[in-house]
């Protein structure tokens, strides 16, 4: 089975082809980072406008790529949520209507299911069951994954997502957008002994997260130093490092707690923050101490991509083979409504 995957939930336009026999065939991505940089974050309307110009040529590109070799698709998977409504609708309208024209099924994919299945695209995928830490600009989730499609949310952020905290902190320190790579780069020159920021909610039982208090702590610290005209490059680096260590440590504590609580022996990391090297190093140590294994998708599949949507679409189409028809006269099957808010437990 050969499946086209389309991703437009936020600020990346992506398309990919996955083959159930041959694995990932091709993937392409167009990033909107430069478009949103001047605003310090994603502007939803600009994101949707860019998607509608970019997606169809990108789909054409993967379909006509030498890797695909002119093969026809058996299904089209598109991200139906969660994400930005206007952005999601671009992928949904094109994905669904193209599938309709070709008379093949269209599969609505949950973006976070795509992320947590992304490690399955690697050469040595983790066997089920496992714990998944999904950390991105829009989400921070700990999920118990018993099998394909069997997900239980163990904990999630009560306010800001970890990636959002990175972006806001970077903005506060004038480090640019996106915040994650900017903070990590500057933090390399930081002094770990100068500041110590709180690890939110680690002293409470449970697996939920909260990052807005940490962000406020950084703001208070930064403002005070700025008023004293002491905010030099070294201080910025020291603050960036203290912030990064606080996030990494907090995520590590919760992941360790989740592994102990469930007795699972494997942890997978996905989402844009999962590309953070300090987080990877720390979680490798945390899992080793617990006799567990950690799995990461390659960095380009940590961030949003079409490959994970194509793969998740394949998984879904196996589970619900008759989820769609080639001639959707029935209005429910013809609908391509999107779900900007959609729990992983309600797929």
- Taking the complex as a whole, the smallest distance from the CB of residue 60 to another protein amounts, in Å, to 6
Collapsing DSSP states into helix, strand and coil, what is residue 307? helix
- The span from the CA of 150 to the CA of 214, in Å, is 32
User: Should residue 48 be labelled a site residue for another protein when binding is judged by CB under 8 A?
Assistant: yes
Listed ranges 44-52, 183-191, 220-228, 263-271: which one lies at the site for another protein (CB under 8 A)? 44-52
Smaller CB separation from another protein, 110 or 215: 110
Listed ranges 21-29, 264-272, 303-311, 334-342: which one lies at the site for another protein (CB under 8 A)? 334-342
How many C-beta atoms lie closer than 10 Å to residue 225's C-beta?
Answer: 17
CB 178 within 8 A of CB 169: no
Cα-based distances in Å from 63 to 4, 43, 60, 72, 78? 8, 29, 5, 8, 15
Cα-based distances in Å from 43 to 34, 47, 48, 205? 12, 6, 9, 36
Smaller CB separation from another protein, 205 or 329: 329
Task: Name which of residues 312 to 331 contact another protein (CB under 8 A).
Answer: 327-331
- Taking the complex as a whole, the smallest distance from the CB of residue 50 to another protein amounts, in Å, to 11
Collapsing DSSP states into helix, strand and coil, what is residue 143? strand
Listed ranges 57-65, 122-130, 182-190, 298-306: which one lies at the site for another protein (CB under 8 A)? 57-65
User: Should residue 35 be labelled a site residue for another protein when binding is judged by CB under 8 A?
Assistant: no
Smaller CB separation from another protein, 86 or 274: 86
- The span from the CA of 155 to the CA of 136, in Å, is 15
- Taking the complex as a whole, the smallest distance from the CB of residue 45 to another protein amounts, in Å, to 4
| Of 1, 37, 45, 196, the one binding another protein by CB under 8 A | 45
Pair type for strands 12-19 and 2-7: antiparallel
Pair type for strands 140-147 and 75-81: unpaired
Task: Name which of residues 94 to 113 contact another protein (CB under 8 A).
Answer: 94-102
- Taking the complex as a whole, the smallest distance from the CB of residue 43 to another protein amounts, in Å, to 6
Smaller CB separation from another protein, 52 or 231: 52
CB 245 within 8 A of CB 275: no
Token readout for 192 is: 């770990």
- The span from the CA of 114 to the CA of 18, in Å, is 13
Smaller CB separation from another protein, 8 or 276: 8
Smaller CB separation from another protein, 42 or 240: 42
Token readout for 175 is: 């480090």
Smaller CB separation from another protein, 99 or 283: 99
CA angle 161, 167, 173 (to 5 degrees): 135
- The span from the CA of 20 to the CA of 59, in Å, is 19
* Total binding residues toward another protein, as defined by CB under 8 A: 37
Task: Name which of residues 60 to 89 contact another protein (CB under 8 A).
Answer: 60, 85-86, 89
Binding site for another protein (CB under 8 A): 39, 43, 45-46, 48-49, 52-53, 56-57, 59-60, 85-86, 89-90, 92-102, 327-331, 334-338
């Amino acid at each position: 089975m050969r499946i086209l995957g389309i991703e437009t939930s936020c600020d990346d336009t992506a398309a990919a082809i996955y083959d159930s026999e041959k694995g990932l065939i091709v993937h392409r991505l167009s990033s909107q980072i430069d478009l949103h940089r001047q605003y310090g974050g994603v502007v939803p309307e600009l994101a949707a406008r860019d998607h509608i110009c970019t997606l169809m040529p990108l789909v054409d590109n993967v379909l006509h790529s030498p890797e695909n070799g002119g093969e026809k698709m058996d299904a089209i998977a598109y991200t139906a949520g969660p994400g930005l409504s206007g952005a999601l609708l671009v992928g949904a309208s094109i994905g669904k209507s193209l599938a309709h024209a070709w008379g093949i099924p269209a599969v609505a994919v949950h973006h976070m299911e795509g992320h947590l299945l992304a490690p399955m695209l690697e050469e040595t995928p983790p066997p089920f069951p496992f714990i998944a830490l999904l950390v991105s600009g829009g989400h921070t989730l700990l999920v118990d994954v018993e099998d394909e499609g069997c997900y239980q949310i163990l904990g999630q952020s009560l306010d800001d997502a970890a990636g959002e905290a990175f972006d806001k902190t970077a903005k506060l320190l004038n480090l640019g957008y996106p915040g994650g790579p900017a903070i990590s780069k500057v933090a390399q020159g930081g002094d770990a002994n100068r500041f110590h920021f709180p690890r939110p909610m680690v002293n409470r039982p449970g697996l939920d997260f909260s990052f807005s208090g940490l962000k406020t702590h950084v703001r208070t610290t930064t403002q005070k130093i700025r008023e004293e005209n002491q905010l030099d490059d070294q201080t910025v680096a020291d603050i960036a490092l203290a912030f990064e260590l606080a996030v990494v440590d907090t995520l590590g504590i919760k992941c360790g707690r989740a592994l102990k609580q469930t007795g699972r022996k494997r942890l997978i990391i996905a989402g844009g923050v999962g590309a953070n090297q300090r987080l990877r190093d720390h979680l490798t140590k945390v899992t080793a101490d617990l006799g567990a294994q950690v799995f990461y998708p390659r960095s380009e599949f940590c961030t949003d991509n079409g490959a994970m949507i194509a793969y998740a679409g394949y998984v879904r189409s196996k589970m619900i083979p008759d989820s769609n028809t080639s001639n959707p006269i029935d209005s429910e099957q013809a609908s391509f409504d999107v779900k900007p808010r959609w729990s992983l437990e309600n797929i």
